[in-house]
């Protein structure tokens, strides 16, 4: 930025000198050569300085990301998912005291062994493991007790679990609706409420919800899924001001889709409906998502949306031009139906 200002100042000086110089008509070529020389010298220097600033910023950010979680107790739900594993790896290397939650004890043990083998044991802590299935609401009280008994407190709770269903509303059974609400709403909410008393008594803590962009944008054929995501988004939005006086931060991170395999890497969609209906939607890699999670924990950002420009435009359209948004959704459903009948 400083180099750009310098260039602008030099250009202005040269122009002003030329305007007030009575001999400017006789020496235009000399002025052009001087201006060219200034630009050729300052622009490369500016680029070098800018590259150095960016590099130093990356080093500082990486250092802060490690120190910001060192020795902190971090709970990660659904640690066996692609995002959960990446998150566990980053926080483990950063020196956090991890509590990994998942449905399979054997897989949790394998994950803990992998983390231990890939890091320096003198700089890291062996993760503690807790069996957790949000679909089994009857076990939630015991889960909360186990989590709190691991270290007696916790600093960061990352709620990462999600269950998805794509189908017409009339084809989804009430049992499936309840299962979706348990996994996507009641489970995360119950765990968060279970650990809140400890955070309030210590007057510190961070609740981070990894949510879907469909908590902000309702898409056809995702009725119950979108409803559960809207509900959990609203819960944590309401909770945020309630606990702020206790020094507790509440963050929500909404993404489009987590690409768990190379075949599901992000692609470009030319229309919004192709974004919503395609099996290969515009997504983010676990590495990208975890990078945003780390920055959110560092900066205590309240809300983050990880999405390409098109879904963000759709969110704005839904807010300011709802009838247009509804018309686009209805047209897309009709086109899908027509293609299926061919």
Active site residues: 225
SS3 of residue 124 by DSSP:
coil
Element (H, E) at 209: strand 205-212
Q: Is 94 exposed, middle or buried (0-12, 13-18, 19+ CB in 10 A)?
A: buried
Other beta carbons less than 10 A from residue 112's beta carbon: 19
The separation between the first and the last C-alpha atoms of the chain, rounded to the nearest angstrom, is 58
Ramachandran area for residue 157 (φ above 0: left; ψ -120 to 50: alpha; else beta)? beta
DSSP letter for each residue of 236-281: HHHHHHHHGGGTEEEEEEEES-B--SGGG-----SSHHHHHH-SS-
CA distance 252 to 258: 16
Strands 97-102 vs 303-306: parallel, antiparallel or unpaired: unpaired
CA distance 188 to 303: 17
Phi first, then psi, for residue 21 (nearest 5°) are -95, 120
């Amino acid at each position: 930025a400083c180099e750009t200002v310098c260039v602008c100042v030099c250009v202005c000086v040269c122009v002003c000198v030329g305007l007030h110089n009575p001999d400017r008509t006789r020496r235009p070529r000399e002025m052009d050569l001087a201006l060219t020389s200034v630009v050729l010298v300052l622009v490369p220097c500016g680029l070098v300085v800018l590259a150095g600033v960016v590099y130093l910023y990356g080093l500082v950010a990486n250092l802060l990301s490690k120190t910001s979680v060192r020795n902190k107790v971090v709970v990660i739900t659904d640690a066996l998912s692609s995002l959960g594993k990446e998150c566990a790896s980053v926080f483990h290397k950063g020196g956090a005291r991890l509590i990994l939650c998942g449905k399979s004890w054997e897989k949790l043990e394998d994950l803990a062994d992998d983390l231990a083998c890939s890091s320096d044991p003198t700089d890291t802590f062996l993760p503690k493991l807790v069996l957790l299935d949000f679909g089994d609401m009857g076990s939630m009280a015991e889960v909360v007790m186990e989590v709190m008994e691991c270290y007696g407190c916790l600093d960061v709770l990352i709620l990462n679990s999600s269950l998805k269903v794509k189908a017409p509303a009339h084809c989804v059974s009430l049992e499936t609706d309840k299962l979706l609400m348990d996994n996507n709403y009641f489970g995360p909410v119950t765990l968060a409420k279970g650990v809140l008393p400890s955070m309030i008594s210590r007057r510190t803590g961070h609740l981070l919800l990894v949510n879907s962009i469909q908590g902000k944008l309702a898409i056809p054929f995702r009725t119950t899924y979108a409803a559960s995501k809207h509900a959990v988004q609203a819960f944590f939005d309401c909770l945020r001001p309630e606990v702020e006086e206790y020094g507790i931060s509440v963050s929500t991170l909404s993404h489009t889709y987590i690409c768990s395999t190379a075949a599901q890497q992000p692609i470009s969609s030319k229309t919004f409906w192709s974004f919503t209906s395609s099996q290969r939607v515009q997504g983010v890699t676990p590495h990208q998502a975890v990078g945003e999670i780390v920055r959110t924990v560092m900066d205590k950002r309240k809300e983050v949306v990880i999405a390409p420009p098109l879904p963000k435009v759709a969110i704005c359209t839904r807010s300011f031009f709802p009838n247009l948004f509804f018309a686009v959704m209805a047209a897309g459903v009709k086109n899908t139906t027509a293609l299926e009948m061919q």
